[in-house]
Amino acid sequence: MTQWMLPSIEKVTKQPTKAALDYYKRFNQPCILTYSDNTITSIFQGTGIAPLQHPLEREFMMLGVPMSQCGHCLSREIEVIYARFDRPLEDARPGEIICAYEVFCEHCNYFTYREYIL
């Protein structure tokens, strides 16, 4: 059984919290790697991609972090527009891994940002 993590931060807003305000114009692909230092931090952004198709979905699920639903209306018709994953170099200590993502809800048009410190 997977133990789901609770977010350390959750923000439900009418404008993006982490994604760029003009994310829908700025990007011309659903999801691309926009930052990587090759060892720890990866950030993906884009116009929006279904959680199951997101490159980080597997890593997040293994850590108990589902990109599951809108924080406003609980709809699962969401698209991931921002995601960050900090991969530890060796055995992680508590507080070392940060997972974060932001989704746009197609149903109510709200943005939900969640950050997890594991």
- Residues contributing to the site for Zn ion (CB under 5 A): 70, 72-73, 75, 105, 107-108
In 3D space, the residue among 90, 89, 86 whose CA is nearest the CA of residue 118 turns out to be 86
Nearer to Zn ion, 8 or 75 (CB): 75
Distance in Å, CB of 37 to Zn ion, minimum:
33
- C-beta of 79 vs 86, nearer to Zn ion: 79
User: 60 or 110: whose CB is closer to Zn ion?
Assistant: 110
DSSP string across 56-94: THHHHHHTT------TTT--S-EEEEEEEEE--SSSPPT
- Output 5 or 108, the one with its CB closest to Zn ion: 108
Q: How far is the CB of 52 from Zn ion (least distance, A)?
A: 18
**Shortest distance (Å) from residue 45 CB to Zn ion:** 20
CA pair distance 114, 8, nearest whole angstrom: 7
Closest by Cα among 83, 70, 87, 74 to 11: 70
Sign of torsion over alpha carbons 70, 106, 75, 58: negative
Min CB(73)–Zn ion separation in Å: 3
